[in-house]
């Protein structure tokens, strides 16, 4: 299927690794021009250069998105280079363990900047260009907003905010023909997830326990599976889909996790 993304300029925050990398790679393979917005230039360039070697298009902008001004600068940089923005994937963030008992005000507010505020700001600054292109926004969110996890109040609150903004923007931007959807991620295997697992005293046992809790095939979602949905939602092939929270999670959130085959 031709997703009609040839030469479409798509910003992907946190696009150098993990889920973001999967999205960037698939966008490039579809002929789009993904622009990674991320804090580490070396990581950004590693992926961009790898794609260039494959004859694919990609670009990058270095930005520390916890700084509110960085979102404006990143969008301005993309517009100066390409003159258009056809889509935005808000993806950057981290489950940082700022809990109720263990956290404090400063940590909570810092986590909101790390995980939610830049979603709003990237969309705010990209909006004039998205109006012209009738582009699409995809927000990557987490199951923590729906299931809870424990000891991650700020991250859960941020993801609740991401979900709410998805629905709110879908309504507000109807008149511009801009579609807004979210992908809700549960247990997805990424380098960051692998680092967390390997930091535990019993990583193999913990991984087996987590896999057993995922109803479909008892395995984690891959970054490529998230990317498949994200790129579809960015494309004109999903032309009548907006305001949706789509769970790409092997049934983790909505199926009974104690079901045994």
Active site residues: 155
How is residue 95 annotated by DSSP?
-
Which pair of tokens denotes residue 256? 């009974």
Q: Which residue has the tokens 């979102």?
A: 71
Burial of 141 per CB tally in 10 Å (0-12, 13-18, 19+): buried
What phi, psi does 59 have (nearest 5°)? -145, 175
Residues 6+ apart with CB under 8 A from 80: none
Please tell me the distance from the alpha carbon of residue 108 to that of residue 96, in angstroms, as a whole number. 10
Task: Name the residue among 116, 171, 109 with its Cα closest to residue 139.
Answer: 116
> CA 78, CA 59: separation in Å to the nearest integer?
9
Encoded tokens for 112: 């909101």
Enter the tokens of residue 8: 């479409």
Spell out a b/e string for 198-213, using b for 16 or more CB atoms within 10 Å of the CB, else e.
eeeeeeeeebeebeee
CA separation, residue 166 to residues 68, 112, 113, 163, 245 (Å): 20, 16, 17, 5, 8
Phi-psi region of 151 (alpha: psi -120 to 50; beta: other; left: phi over 0): left
């Amino acid at each position: 299927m031709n997703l009609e993304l040839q030469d479409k300029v798509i910003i992907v925050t946190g696009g150098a690794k993990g889920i973001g990398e999967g999205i960037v790679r698939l966008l490039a393979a579809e002929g789009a021009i993904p622009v990674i917005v991320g804090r580490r230039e070396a990581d950004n360039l590693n992926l961009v250069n790898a794609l260039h070697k494959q004859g694919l298009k990609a670009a990058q902008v270095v930005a520390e998105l916890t700084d509110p001004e960085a979102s404006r600068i990143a969008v301005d940089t993309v517009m100066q280079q390409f003159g258009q923005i056809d889509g935005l994937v808000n993806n950057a963030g981290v489950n940082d363990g700022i809990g109720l008992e263990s956290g404090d005000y400063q940590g909570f507010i810092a986590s909101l900047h790390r995980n939610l505020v830049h979603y709003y700001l990237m969309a705010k600054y990209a909006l004039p260009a998205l109006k012209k292109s009738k582009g699409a926004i995809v927000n990557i969110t987490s199951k923590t907003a729906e299931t809870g996890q424990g000891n991650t109040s700020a991250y859960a609150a941020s993801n609740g905010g991401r979900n709410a903004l998805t629905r709110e923007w879908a309504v507000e931007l109807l008149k511009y023909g801009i579609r807004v959807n979210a992908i809700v991620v549960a247990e997805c295997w990424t380098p960051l997830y692998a680092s967390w697992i390997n930091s535990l005293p019993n990583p193999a046992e913990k991984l087996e326990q987590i896999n057993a809790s995922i109803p479909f095939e008892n395995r984690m979602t891959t970054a490529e599976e998230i990317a498949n949905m994200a790129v579809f939602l960015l494309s004109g092939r999903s032309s009548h889909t907006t305001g949706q929270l789509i769970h790409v999670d092997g049934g983790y959130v909505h199926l009974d996790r104690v079901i045994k085959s």
